[in-house]
Structure 1
Amino acid sequence: MNAQQHAYQPGWFDLFSIMVSGMLENAGEEESHAFLRQTGDDLAARYPLAEARTVQDLETQINLALARFNWGFVEIQPQENALTLLHMALPEGRDELAPALWRRALGAVFSGLYARWLRDQGGHAQVPLSCDAEADASLLLFRYQKGL
């Protein structure tokens, strides 16, 4: 899969994009991101994943859920004591919002989404999920690792 294979619906997505822009302008980035993380968590609760027995199963379940929204796809790379999630084919924001601000806002939503799904699959709430929205303009990099 690549970014060109993912189309985004106008209307609802435009509404979401405008809302994010307004939140950032009115509430600031920190407060907006807290709300967006909670929104991602709530969305994950509304769209729970089927039980995954392997990392490949987990990746497949997440990608099936993301496909419902046309929100790109994830590749999960297991490491000795961590999981790295690469979220690609990000939905593009509106022109009036700087791309870096948009990626960080999406990073907050996906942080809530992924953290809830990982907890629901047997992960621990004490294990943090970090997001690097600055490393690459075309993806979000998440790291699920104890002790971060």
Structure 2
Amino acid sequence: MESHVISYLESQRRGAQWELFLRSLAVSLQNWAPSDTLRKLMRDAGVHTGQDLVLPTCETLIDLEAAANEHWTRMGWGFVKIQEQHDCISITHDYAPLEAVFGREAMEWVGSFLEGIYQQWFVFLGAGDGLQVKQVGVSDTGALNYKFGR
């Protein structure tokens, strides 16, 4: 395992005060609404959170990644890698506490929260309506994968 990953994991001490509540809430939400509705709800919550987590001026993807990781480190929400691809920008978010708190079953929809945050940040940086952040999967290690593009 890479040293920055080990350092990050050692720095995290999660309190249990919200875990029971949030896991129970996730189960209730899944019982009350279909996954598509929950994805929209979480994306909307993410957009609002992205408005609250203000970014500095970012000239490059490296600047954006550094600014995002400042927020994530402060909050204990893992870290992100943002890379330009030939047809999109890939966003890989490692060690977000979503699965640990909401449970594996909720990963179908709860990752839309980060989708909304990243979308709002790209809008803040000047992205037009034609460019969207979309979750494209969860890796075997639990990393949430997104792409930003058309």
> Normalized against structure 2, the TM-score is what?
0.82
Match for 2:149: what amino acid? Answer: Q
Q: Is 2:42 the counterpart of 1:4?
A: no
Provide structure 2 residue ranges, at least 5 long, that are not aligned to the other structure.
none
Residue of structure 2 aligned with 1:110, choices 102, 114, 117? 114
- Tell me the secondary structure at the aligned position of residue 87 of structure 1: strand
Corresponding residue for residue 73 of structure 1: 79
State which drifts further: 22-31 or 53-62.
Answer: 22-31
CA contact (8 A) 1:103 1:133 kept: no
> Normalized against structure 1, the TM-score is what?
0.83
Aligned residues: 143
Provide structure 1 residue ranges, at least 5 long, that are not aligned to the other structure.
none
| Mapping 1:125-140, distance limit 5 Å | 125-140=129-144
In proportion to residue count, which structure has more helix?
A: 2
CA RMSD between the two structures = 2.1
CA contact (8 A) 1:18 1:94 kept: no
Match for 1:123: what amino acid? Answer: A
CA contact (8 A) 1:73 1:89 kept: yes
Q: Is 2:100 the counterpart of 1:93?
A: yes
State which drifts further: 27-36 or 11-20.
Answer: 11-20
Counterpart-to-counterpart distance in 2, 1:113 and 1:13: 22
Q: State the identity as a percent.
A: 20
Counterpart-to-counterpart distance in 1, 2:19 and 2:67: 23
Question: Cα offset for 1:134?
Answer: 3.8
Counterpart-to-counterpart distance in 1, 2:68 and 2:88: 17
Going from structure 1 to structure 2, the CA distance change for 1:104 and 1:76 (only over 3 Å counts) comes to: same
